[in-house]
Amino acid sequence: MNCARNSGQQDICYYDPAMDQVIRHRLNIVDELRYAVARQQFSLCYQAQKRISDKKIVGFEALLRWEHPMLGAVSPVVFIPVAEESGLIQEIGEWVLRTACHAASQWEQPYRISVNVSAEQFHHHDLPGLVRDVLETTGLSPSRLELELTETAIFTDMARATAILNELKAMGVSIAVDDYGTGHSSLGLIRDIVFDRIKLDKLFVQNALGNETDKAIIRAVIFLGRSLQTTVLAEGVETEEQFAFLADEGCDEIQGFLLSRPLPHDLLVATGKVSLIAE
What are the residues whose beta carbons fall under 8 Å from the beta carbon of 49, sequence distance 6 or more?
Answer: 57, 58, 59, 60, 61, 112, 114, 233, 253, 254, 255, 259
Q: Which listed option, Mg ion, ligand C2E, none, makes contact with residue 118 (CB within 5 to 8 Å by class)?
A: ligand C2E
Q: Is 178 in the site for Mg ion (CB under 5 A)?
A: yes
Q: Is 252 in the site for Mg ion (CB under 5 A)?
A: no
What DSSP state is assigned to residue 86? H
Q: Which listed option, ligand C2E, Mg ion, none, makes contact with residue 75 (CB within 5 to 8 Å by class)?
A: ligand C2E
Q: Is 206 in the site for Mg ion (CB under 5 A)?
A: no
Q: Which listed option, ligand C2E, Mg ion, none, makes contact with residue 64 (CB within 5 to 8 Å by class)?
A: ligand C2E
Angle at 149 between CA 259 and CA 265, to 5 degrees: 40
Judged by the rule CB under 6 A, the positions of this chain that interact with ligand C2E are 47, 63-64, 75-77, 80, 96, 116-118, 148, 178-179, 202, 235-238, 256-257, 262
Cβ-based nearer residue to Mg ion, 13 or 224: 224
- Contact positions with Mg ion (CB under 5 A) in 113-142: 116
Angle at 134 between CA 129 and CA 138, to 5 degrees: 155
Rounded CA-CA distance 277/204 in Å is: 38
Q: To 10 degrees, what angle do helices 89-105 and 127-138 make?
A: 30
Q: In angstroms, what is the minimal distance from the CB of 256 to ligand C2E?
A: 3
Among residues 278, 272, 275, the alpha carbon closest in space to that of 109 is found at 275
Q: Where on the chain is the footprint of Mg ion (CB under 5 A)?
A: 116, 148, 178-179, 235
